[in-house]
Amino acid sequence: MANTEYDYDVLYIGSGHGTFDGAIPLAARGVKVGVIESGLIGGTCPNRGCNAKITLDAPVALTRLAENLNGVVNGNLSIDWKANEQHKHAVIDGLPNMIGGLMKSVNIDLISGHGVLKDRHTVTVGNDSKTAEKIVISTGQHPHRLDIPGTDLAHDSEDFMNLTTLPKNITIIGAGYISLEFATIANAAGSNVTVLTHGDHVLRKFYQPFVKQVVADLEKRGVVFINNAKVTKFGQTDRHYNIEYNDNQTITTDWILDATGRIPNTQGIGLDEIGINYNARGIEVNDHLQTSIDNIYASGDVLDKDQPKLTPTAIFESTYLMHQFAGDSADPINYPVIPSVVFTSPRIAKAGVSIEDAQQNGQYEVKTNHLPDDWYRQVTKEGLGDNALVYDKNHHLVGATEMSDQAEDAINTLLPAIEFKFGPAELERLVPLFPTIGADTLGQL
């Protein structure tokens, strides 16, 4: 690729998974790469998303296991929030240096600052300018904030994960991933949690009969759900906060989490000025991830796309671009099956054709399993657990959804079968370690 005209062959704006999973192998192949980052190297997932969240969640999973095995394991476990928070720092604080180190080891130039597109080959960072043959916009998303009086009194997911003391009463607005995952963690760590949802559905993107079981379990544990609540105002008294909703109703709380979604970072980066098309869902790209200016690409959460805005999607996109830029392929992007999971306790995970689509479309067969009936799940005395396996007419597995303590591993086990459309003959050749969640899951096929 090596050009002599520009500073870089490829210049990325943003250093998250939408960038580094592809940029590092690309640079390792001798391509001259620059990465501009205004915040922490590695972006949202390592620093204020997946890795931080799953560390805070680990003790929750442990307390649930101890609860299941109560009588076999004696004594009550409780979560020490301060220690949990410190443990999270110990796990994630080194990640920016680790990822930055990997980039430097292949001679990527890390440029600190806010990048703004100036023209089709130039990005400014403060008073400096960098030029490149190709540019990748990988700026991610930021939290949506309710446009109501007092909105600054609320906090976002990053603030939650940095709490050094857990508030006694937490109120969460929203009914998506962040709301339900953080309600689970805060409740298990001893907070009184209230969730206000503006509709009557929680976790809309997941199979509702499974969601209802998770919500009922959280309610049993003390989480209060108030549905159809239109929040109109946040206020503050001496020591508390008030949330007004549905005209004349009020809740008093100690801490407010606004978990009403995330918005693509399309503002203040020069898109309008140089003529790149975008909309409220993100930057518009073609099937090669090219924007309306063909040497400028976009990757990760900032894209307007139908695929879920998750780390696996961002990794696939940055890797796809790496192959394009290195000349390995000129094919359009062909997304694989992208799985998703909500880390409630139990989790709900899914991949491929959903149960809802299968039920509406006569060409599929859906097989269900009530998991507590299964001997392997009795080892850990799982009380809640259901799954549904979706097959096509040739009995090839095309989708799976599971609600259980180990749903993410069960769905990961099934991914190759779903992605590569394994039929009975191929499935027979998968002989997993026994006894494991993998063996249990494959055994149900």
Ligand X SMILES: Cc1cc2nc3c(=O)[nH]c(=O)nc-3n(C[C@H](O)[C@H](O)[C@H](O)COP(=O)(O)OP(=O)(O)OC[C@H]3O[C@@H](n4cnc5c(N)ncnc54)[C@H](O)[C@@H]3O)c2cc1C
Ligand Y SMILES: NC(=O)c1ccc[n+]([C@@H]2O[C@H](COP(=O)([O-])OP(=O)(O)OC[C@H]3O[C@@H](n4cnc5c(N)ncnc54)[C@H](O)[C@@H]3O)[C@@H](O)[C@H]2O)c1
Q: Which residues in this chain contact ligand Y in the complex, by CB under 6 A?
A: 146, 173-179, 181, 198-199, 231, 259-262, 308-310, 340-343
Q: Which of 157, 344, 387, 401 binds ligand X (CB under 6 A)?
A: 157
| Tokens coding 341 | 């999971």
Q: Does 155 bind ligand X (CB under 6 A)?
A: no
Q: Which does 312 bind (CB under 5 to 8 A by kind): ligand Y, ligand X, none?
A: ligand X
Residues within window 169-188 making contact with ligand X, judged by CB under 6 A: 178
Provide the CB-side half-sphere exposure for 81 (13 A, CA).
Answer: 16
CB nearer ligand Y, residue 255 or residue 422: 255
Q: Beta strand pairing status for 365-370 and 386-391?
A: antiparallel
346 prior amide bond cis, ω within 30? yes
Residues within window 315-344 making contact with ligand X, judged by CB under 6 A: none
Q: Which does 261 bind (CB under 5 to 8 A by kind): ligand Y, ligand X, none?
A: ligand Y
| Tokens coding 207 | 């199979």
160: enclosing H helix or E strand: helix 157-161
Q: Does 115 bind ligand X (CB under 6 A)?
A: yes
The Cα 109–Cα 33 span in angstroms is: 7
Q: Which does 115 bind (CB under 5 to 8 A by kind): ligand Y, ligand X, none?
A: ligand X
Contacts of residue 86, defined as CB under 8 A and 6 or more positions apart, other chains included, come to none
Q: Which does 344 bind (CB under 5 to 8 A by kind): ligand Y, ligand X, none?
A: none
CB nearer ligand Y, residue 289 or residue 342: 342
Q: Are 440 and 376 in contact (CB under 8 A)?
A: yes
Q: Is the dihedral of CA 85, 240, 214, 220 positive or negative?
A: positive
Q: Give me the least distance between CB of 427 and ligand X, in Å please.
A: 27
| Tokens coding 128 | 């400096």
Q: Which of 32, 64, 309, 377 binds ligand X (CB under 6 A)?
A: 309
Q: Where are the alpha helices (DSSP H) in 288-346?
A: 311-326
CB nearer ligand X, residue 60 or residue 269: 269
Q: Which of 7, 258, 301, 409 binds ligand X (CB under 6 A)?
A: 301
Q: Give me the least distance between CB of 314 and ligand X, in Å please.
A: 4
Residue type for 203, please?
A: L
Q: Which does 342 bind (CB under 5 to 8 A by kind): ligand Y, ligand X, none?
A: ligand Y
Residue 394 backbone dihedrals phi, psi, to 5 degrees? -90, 15
Q: Give me the least distance between CB of 205 and ligand Y, in Å please.
A: 7
Instruction: Give the DSSP letter string of 354-372.
Output: -HHHHHHSTT-EEEEEEGG
Only one of the segments 33-41, 59-67, 247-255, 427-435 lies at the binding site for ligand X (rule: CB under 6 A); that segment is 33-41
Q: Which does 260 bind (CB under 5 to 8 A by kind): ligand Y, ligand X, none?
A: ligand Y
Residues within window 42-71 making contact with ligand X, judged by CB under 6 A: 43-45, 49-50, 53
Q: Are 82 and 165 in contact (CB under 8 A)?
A: yes
The Cα 182–Cα 321 span in angstroms is: 34
CB nearer ligand Y, residue 177 or residue 241: 177
Q: Does 39 bind ligand X (CB under 6 A)?
A: yes
| Residue among 181, 174, 171, 219 nearest 197 (CA) | 174
| Tokens coding 427 | 């499935």
Q: Which does 314 bind (CB under 5 to 8 A by kind): ligand X, ligand Y, none?
A: ligand X
Residues making contact with ligand X (CB under 6 A):
13-19, 36-39, 43-45, 49-50, 53, 114-115, 138-140, 157, 178, 265, 269, 300-301, 309-312, 314
